[in-house]
Amino acid sequence: MNGKCRDFHDSHWGLTATEIVVNNFPSASRTGEPEERHLFLIPRPLIAIPLGLNLFSWVPGFLIHPQAASWIIQNLGGPDPVDSNLHPGRFLIALLAPQACLGIETNQYYSNMSQRIAFLFSGQGAQTVGMGKDLAEQYPAIANLFQRADTFLKRPLSQLMFEGPQEELTQTVHCQPALYVHGAACLAAFLHEMGGELPGVVATAGLSLGEFTAHAAAGTFDFETGLSLVSQRAQFMQEACESTEGTMAAMIGAEENIVRDLAAETDVDIANLNAPGQIVISGERAKVELAVSLAKEHGIRRATLLNVAGAYHSRLMNSAYVRLGEVLEKTSFETPQYKVICNVDAKPVSEPVEIRNALREQVTSSVRWTESMEYLLDVEKIDLFIEFGPGGVLAGLFGRIRKGTNVLSISDVPSLQTAVAALKG
């Protein structure tokens, strides 16, 4: 089946809805020829009783309160409906949730017609050898995207991504542009499979460097501009690492205020607020090691030094902050097509000045990922997150942020096919 969505308003009844026109709905007639059907998703609560066919004389059906879904299926979905107005071939619409409706007539589940969707993009640390290889083999357009990246960077980044070695891929100067290109490739392959667009996308976000990929996805800048920014950012940050003695450590199983107290006591910075009970500190190596040694005294269940090249998202990245800022000032930005949630404030940015400040500030500031996801869930009312990047790292964080959150992760051809199948039903 296929169809389209459009806004609908009935001034007489004061109802606003999303009208879904299904072009080739399976027919219940003897001929079996597909029919056009008009379905309605009603965003506001309605009483759980039939409003009658005279409401929309040309659309057989009822408008039902979401909480009445189980009652509808139990009482109206059987072979002998209790309402005599329901005849064979007629269609009952039940609003089960903000993201779906059920056609009782055929038991066909129409998912994602009205979902609010957010795209998510991975950050440094998610990289793995082989990333993107099967996508390039499966889709000529994706192979071309990798070739464009290699040509632009004047080095065989795709070969490093596909074949390794892991030690070289993990270097900041390589892994940041690699993850940017991989995220863009996953998104391009996904949109290709979805026919070029996905209705319902309202926001994007990315962890650390993933924020640049999020902006590219939202149209803030084109693929090459984003690749240039990420490549220079990576170079600036690697040089900052080489000129300082810094490291990072993960604090597991502690409240944010406790970690902040420890960070203040040992003079280190909060780098990542990834999820409740998963916070990363960053700073001079000796001071981070001191914080790790004092962690249990502060009631932190576990503190672990991370195998990283430097103190990312800390004051030790100040040289990268300054140099990236200069590059950003010379870069043109368009208004994003979707809301892009920035790491620094966990709020959307849209104006060029805001975008420049957010991308510069995040180099030395905390990644407020937990708050960013809570904003998307609670303010933007996101129903479905689609993660683009290796390993499903961001999907895993939702286990601590908000259990039960609906997330699809796309990193390769099998995960892409699984996601597309889930969305197309």
Q: Which residues are catalytic?
A: 208, 313
List C-alpha distances in Å: 341 to 120, 316, 407. 10, 25, 17
**How many whole angstroms separate alpha carbon 190 and alpha carbon 418?**
11
